[in-house]
């Protein structure tokens, strides 16, 4: 049984998936510019740990204070 994206509900592929740093959900995140997947999250510079993390679209919407730390990777979020 295929694992489902927690954002868009589509089956995840094995290459273009990330785990949200806030909720732990798995979502589509393109790992190449030509990946034919929905953009269901974004890269994020997490200031407390000085590290790169990934955050799903629902957590971005629920935590607007982190928008200034998002890394623009192109495309639009659902």
Q: Which residue range forms the structural domain that includes residue 48?
A: 17-71
Q: Among positive and negative, which fits the CA dihedral 72, 75, 76, 77?
A: negative
What integer pLDDT is reported at residue 14 of this predicted model?
84
| Residue 6 in domain | no
What's the pLDDT tens digit per position in 35-75?
877 789 988 887 777 888 899 999 999 988 888 788 766 65
Specify the number of domains making up the chain. 1
Distance (Å, rounded) from C-alpha 43 to C-alpha 28? Answer: 12
- The answer for residues whose C-beta is within 8 angstroms of residue 50's C-beta and 6 or more apart is none
CB 21 within 8 A of CB 46: yes
CA atoms within 13 A on the CB side of 2: 11
**What is the pTM assigned to this prediction?**
0.80
| Residue 78 in domain | no
């Amino acid at each position: 049984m295929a694992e489902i994206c927690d954002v868009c509900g589509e089956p995840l592929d094995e290459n273009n998936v990330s785990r949200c740093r806030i909720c732990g959900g798995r979502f589509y995140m393109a790992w190449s510019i030509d990946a034919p997947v929905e953009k269901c999250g974004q890269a994020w510079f997490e200031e407390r740990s000085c590290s790169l993390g990934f955050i799903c679209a629902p957590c971005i919407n629920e935590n607007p204070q982190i928008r200034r730390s998002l890394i623009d990777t192109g495309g639009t979020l659902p």
